[in-house]
Chains A and B, each alone.
Chain A
Amino acid sequence: MQYYDTGWFGVFVTAMLTVFILFNISRAHRNSESLFIRRIPGLNAIDEAIGRATEMGRPVLMVPGIGGLNAISVQALNIFAHVTKTAARFSTPIRLCLADATVYTVAQEIIRDVYQKEGMIERFHSDSVQFVSDRQFAFAAGVAGMIYREKAAATFFLGEFYAESLIFAESANAVGAIQVAGTTQTTQTPFFIAACDYVLIGDEYYAASAYLTRSPVLVGSLIGQDWCKIAIAALILIGFATNSYQSTQLTSQAYDGKEWTPLAQPRHYLASETWSSLLFNPKSARDVKVERPLEPEQGGSQ
């Protein structure tokens, strides 16, 4: 994301998206009641799933994927905090299975904090939050075994999943659990769609905490994300229109990634020579030579 890699436009777009998000957060602080979030079935199903687990007296199982402590797992833990809050009120047992020691430490504190805030710290068991393994398939085997043994009534698979996603989803399906899943990995989303009851697709995953809590900061951020998507869609349309127009025009120069050179015969613009392509892929400065003074002890000019 360097200036010379993307040109001024890449940095400008990132700055613009950042401003959109921050502006809407401040706007939501002033007036959050009028902001609307569309219905997300996967998130509406959370209460239903916990209610079912309560009726059956079986645990709710949550997995935040196998990634480390990053925005994805933090978002998963935010959603699980909400699930735990509801489960705590009904004394429904929970199991939070983790594959990363750092996420485990954070998760344990969050879950304990949720029980504390609900005034039910005595219902928090250390077994509720478990570090299973940091090896992908050892973790998959451990969680699948837990699902079968404890016959989880509701499962929440939200986070960064890879090949183990289907093992979890099919194991939970085998014990008849209601499943809510969501991942930022587009390669795993089809597996969840095939095997789970409710799936959060794409940015619905990041909309979850705003949807569940209606906190002004989160709702404002969500509106900011929508502005960003509109801006990106507009950029795509502008790129499409300018590229389509330019590719019908003739040029008498060719661009090799560094400079324009004259052509013997005019020809149509290539995709790499269009205005929008050059905007995102500016002239390379990789071969720039810079002479600098050396540090004194090395016998340089200083």
Chain B
Amino acid sequence: MTYLASFFTAPAASSGLTIRILGTLVFTAIAIFALSQAPTRSRRPIVATVTFFAGLFYVLFYLWPQPYDRKPNEIPLNSVEAVGFWLKDAQPVVSTFGNIIAGSMLGLGIFSLLSVHLRKFVKKQRDWQFSGILLLSMVAMAVIGYWNWIQKIAPGSPDLENVANWGFPQYANDFLFDGMLQQMDAAMFSIIAFYILSAAYRAFRIRSIEATILLSAALIMMLSLMGAVEYQTSELIRNISGNDPNGFINNFTLKEIATWMRTNLQNPSLRAVDFGVGIGALAMGLRLWLSLERGGVSA
């Protein structure tokens, strides 16, 4: 039952793999050509059929009972198990299709970047300097990254985990990736702290009843997380209750109120939103799978 996997896979550097790659390229080219030559009216049913079968695979994969306690080289006991075996074996192969499509699309993304920024740079349009830096960074990162990778996988290469064995590509890659890219990522992430402050300032201004409720809730949550404030208010409540651990007023410490808000207000609201989003995604998925939409993506 592993025939699907063995049909699509072959050992690395084997002639079988080369034949499969070439065959796939030829098949893809013929399919694209045929689709582009097909009358517009007939293209839609073709795309809809392919979409339906692609979706059907995953619907079956999730809903069809999968075999229990399956060991290698076993034969299914009945037809239900046979389908389950087939789905299980085919899933890694089918999911690779998605990766291949995404990989080929990345080329189009790079083409978009190059076309926009090369034009800006060559024609010296506004902010052309930024485009120049982007192109330079892109080329440097690709060249150094590839050089580093080639050295890493080369047979008989030294242990590049050890810094003592590093050469120019490793130092350059470390500088570009860890020294610059990661640090710039971290800097962008840090900026969020300041943005939170300015957004909170605007959101918490008391302009309406909703904003006031928002401010009060945020205040309670923030104060409950401040150890000193939380301790002082808890002590105050304890004194009022006369150190009675069963006193009703003990429910009104900042910690208790914050926990109550989280479990009784926040969690149910988020779950309700998640239900709505989940159902929306289900409906959207059904419309796309069955090609029911017209316009937009399904035009």
Contacts and interface: CB of A to CB of B under 8 A. Distances in A.
B277 interface: yes
Interface in B244-299: 270, 272-277, 279-288, 292-297, 299
Interface string B58-95: 00001101111111011111000000000000000000
A298 B101 CA distance: 37
A292 B76 contact: yes
Q: Which of B189, B195, B285 has the most CB of A within 10 A?
A: B195
B69 A167 contact: no
A232 to B, nearest CB: 6
Contacts of B296: 74, 77-78, 81-82, 110, 209
A167 B188 contact: yes
Contacts of A77: 296-297
Q: Which of A127, A137, A290 has the most CB of B within 10 A?
A: A137
B112 A131 contact: yes
A170 B195 contact: yes
Contacts of A228: 279, 282
B288 A71 contact: yes
A286 B202 CA distance: 53
B56 interface: no
Contacts of B110: 101, 131
Contacts of B274: 186, 202
A290 B185 contact: no
A184 B277 contact: yes
Contacts of A100: 109
B206 interface: no
A192 to B, nearest CB: 9
**Secondary structure of the B contact surface, majority rule:** helix
Contact of B283 (A21, A193, A285): A21
A113 B202 CA distance: 39
Given A105-B105, A298-B73, A74 B195 contact: no
B277 A189 contact: no
B75 A293 contact: yes
Nearest to A29: B292
Given A78-B297, A215-B294, A101 B108 contact: yes
Interface string A126-157: 11011110111110110001000100000000
Interface in A163-203: 163-164, 166-167, 169-170, 173, 184, 186, 189, 191, 193-195, 201-203
Contact of A186 (B74, B75, B181, B270): B270
Please classify how large the interface on chain A is, using the bins under 10, 10 to 19, 20 to 34, 35 or more: 35 or more
A104 interface: yes
B280 A17 contact: no
Given A136-B185, A195-B203, A292-B77, A217 B294 contact: yes
A105 B75 contact: no
A166 B195 contact: yes
Contact of A17 (B62, B76, B105, B282): B282
A218 interface: yes
Interface stretch (A1-9, A47-55, A248-256): A1-9
Given A141-B184, A203-B279, A290-B67, 7 more contacts: A2-B63, A25-B287, A126-B116, A134-B106, A184-B280, A202-B273, A203-B277
Interface of A: 1-4, 11, 14, 17-18, 21-22, 25, 68, 71-72, 74-75, 77-78, 81-82, 98, 100-102, 104-106, 108, 110, 113, 126-127, 129-132, 134-138, 140-141, 145, 149, 163-164, 166-167, 169-170, 173, 184, 186, 189, 191, 193-195, 201-203, 205-207, 209, 213, 215, 217-218, 221-222, 224-225, 228-229, 232, 285-286, 288-290, 292-295, 298, 300, 302
The 7 closest A-B pairs by CB, nearest first: A206-B280, A203-B276, A101-B109, A194-B203, A78-B296, A137-B188, A202-B273
11 contacts: A2-B65, A18-B286, A81-B295, A82-B296, A104-B112, A140-B188, A202-B277, A285-B68, A290-B77, A292-B77, A294-B73
